[in-house]
Amino acid sequence: MKICEMNPSVRPYERLEEFGAEALSDEELLAILVRSGTKGRSARDIASDVLSQTGLHDGLPGLSRITLEELSELEGIGRVKAILIKACVEIGRRCAIGANAMDKVQFLSSDMAKTYFSAKMSFLESEEVHVVLLDSKKHMIVHEVVSKGGLNRISFISKELFRLAVRVNAAGLIIAHNHPSGDPVPSEEDVETTQDLIRCGLMIGIEVLDHIVVGRGVATSMKESGFISEKKIIEKENNDENR
């Protein structure tokens, strides 16, 4: 039976749409890549044969070790499908490497934060605001571009910023923005905006660990330079209340 003749509830394409890729078997996933069958054999049949013929290579993981030539010689595969399958295997490998590398990014010092954001933001043509959300051990959960166009928009999107932090269960965050002029010295507005963010974080239990200002190949840590201090903000608020 061809895949198009199957009940929609058991077709790989429809099952992936309804239940997600993780619900599909190895055979079904490979059948989607095979796409079409041959006379008397469906794409699913061919996928099953491929997995059985690569038994010595451990099924789907074995597709990373079987050569392009070996794969293309299998009945119902050929050159084009073999290239598609190998390309998908390589995409999966690179995604895994990227995920592992992301897990290892840990912000233990201001120097690490300056190095990280300098590499990503030193040569941007316009001003952008980025944020890194961190877990309790200061491992990066996600890096987001918060704003394109400058820090002056932060006050309008701070709620969305902290809503994202809550959604990913972040314990802290590091904010960064660049100065296209190349000068990494924080302005008064930078300091005031950062203090506002720290106050918001204190209210909901998410620590604003630092604010990095990136110039051309150089960066300033506002915390390291003494521009911001959670302790000073609390003391100032207490003094204001006592007046």
Domain boundaries 110-242, corresponding CATH code = 3.40.140.10
Q: What percent of the chain has pLDDT over 70?
A: 80
Task: State pLDDT tens for residues 186-206.
Answer: 988 888 888 889 988 989 999
Least confident of 32-41, 107-116, 168-177: 32-41
Q: What is the mean pLDDT of residues 213-234?
A: 82
Beta carbons of 237 and 204 less than 8 angstroms apart: no
What is the pLDDT, as a whole number, of residue 136?
93
DSSP E strands, 103-230: 128-134, 140-148, 172-178, 207-214, 219-221
pLDDT class of 125 with cuts at 50, 70, 90: confident
Q: How far apart are CA 106 and CA 102, in angstroms?
A: 9
What is the crossing angle of helices 188-204 and 230-242, to 10°? 80
What is the pLDDT, as a whole number, of residue 113?
94
Beta carbons of 198 and 228 less than 8 angstroms apart: yes
Look up residue 121 and give its two tokens: 């933001």
